[in-house]
Amino acid sequence: MQGIAFLGDRNVELRSFPDPAPGIGEVVLQMKASGICGTDLMLYRRPASAVGAPVIGGHEPCGVVAALGPGVDATRVRIGDRVMVHHYFGCTVCEHCRSGWAQLCQSTPVAVYGNNANGGHAPYLVVPAATLIALPDELSFETGAAISCGSGTAYAALRRLNVSGHDTVAIFGQGPVGLAGTQFAKAFGARVIALDVSPVRLARAAEFGADVSIDPSSADAVAEIMAATGGRGADAVLETSGATSAATAAVRAARIWGSVCLVSGQGPLDVNILADLVFRQITVFGSWTFSAAGQMECARFVVERAVDVDRIFTHRWALSAASEAYRLTDSQAAGKGVFLM
């Protein structure tokens, strides 16, 4: 079969891979949707010299079960089941694997589908049955793809920030993760201050319900957030942009006793520990995607609150359009893209 591989230096190619055959405990999924997410851009942009044997990209896979390998319990996993994938697989027995956080496994090299193991940018994907998460009937395959990384990351971060209808949340970056953050924070009942240097992205954030929009390239982000909150600062701050200055601004824009969650980032966090953190009682933490149970919870929330996750996608592609899809994603002129099979 043909799958999309990242060859480095911004080259992607549809190339031949062996037809999938499930091993012990594995299933073959027929892919229906495979999202494009931020980590894919890192893989796309890395130098060719850093790329080993190519694997199929795509870590937001969503599809249906097409074949069961030996040892898969056919009473629990059935051909035709609509599924997402928790896109990591570790040793299965350590405390992290057993708590559903396989990405934190320290016992063995963790398989990350679409990164160091074949992912979803292909007609088929082989994964352990244990990675499957049921896709509720109410949700489209595209929504399942978004929940599988980008939107799920935003949801998990807001949950850890304990965001509710009492809160004003400032969200740095309104790319696919930040925009999903705006969407979920509104569904949690919060007031949202959206920040981005792109007027197009700020306009999208407003369409998604953002109450205040700030362009940090033309205004002092911290001062604007203070002004929008009566001088208090934001109750919670989510930093998704990865911009060098954003993490520091995120900390300074939080109110006394506020919380700051970083899901992206470059460069050092330039804060004065006493002035910015201790004397303001600030909590700062990082958040890396979500557990398998967290992915299930996100899907359930999307169903019960009728969150229109599909709306996050601006571009739908065929696998054959891989080069164009990634070129456009790389330009950051577009929103989120997804391959549909």
Smaller CB separation from Zn ion, 129 or 214:
129
Taking residue 75's Cβ as centre, other Cβ atoms within 10 Å add up to 5
Smaller CB separation from Zn ion, 37 or 322:
37
- Judged by CB under 5 A, does residue 130 bind Zn ion? no
Residue type, 293: A
Of residues 143, 217, 214, 212, the one with CA closest to residue 180: 143
> Minimal distance in Å, beta carbon 305 to Zn ion?
22
| C-alpha span between 197 and 40 (Å, rounded) | 22
Q: Where are the beta strands (DSSP E) in 149-190?
A: 168-172
> Minimal distance in Å, beta carbon 77 to Zn ion?
22
Taking residue 134's Cβ as centre, other Cβ atoms within 10 Å add up to 14
Smaller CB separation from Zn ion, 106 or 283:
106
x/- string (CB under 5 A) for Zn ion, residues 40-79? ----------------------------------------
Of residues 289, 306, 285, 84, the one with CA closest to residue 183: 306
- Judged by CB under 5 A, does residue 94 bind Zn ion? yes
| C-alpha span between 108 and 89 (Å, rounded) | 10
Smaller CB separation from Zn ion, 91 or 226:
91
- Judged by CB under 5 A, does residue 200 bind Zn ion? no
Total residues interacting with Zn ion, rule: CB under 5 A = 9
Q: Which one of 39, 140, 198, 314 is in contact with Zn ion (CB under 5 A)?
A: 39
- Judged by CB under 5 A, does residue 149 bind Zn ion? yes
Q: Which one of 37, 83, 85, 261 is in contact with Zn ion (CB under 5 A)?
A: 37
By CB neighbour count within 10 A (0-12 exposed, 13-18 middle, 19+ buried), where does 281 fall? exposed
Q: Which one of 11, 107, 272, 332 is in contact with Zn ion (CB under 5 A)?
A: 107
Torsion of CA 238, 240, 242, 244, to 10 degrees: -30
Smaller CB separation from Zn ion, 55 or 222:
55
Q: Which one of 7, 64, 67, 91 is in contact with Zn ion (CB under 5 A)?
A: 91
> Minimal distance in Å, beta carbon 96 to Zn ion?
5
Strand partners, 28: 67, 126
Q: Which one of 36, 97, 145, 177 is in contact with Zn ion (CB under 5 A)?
A: 97
Of residues 189, 173, 179, 188, the one with CA closest to residue 298: 188
Residues that bind Zn ion (CB under 5 A): 37, 39, 90-91, 94, 97, 105, 107, 149
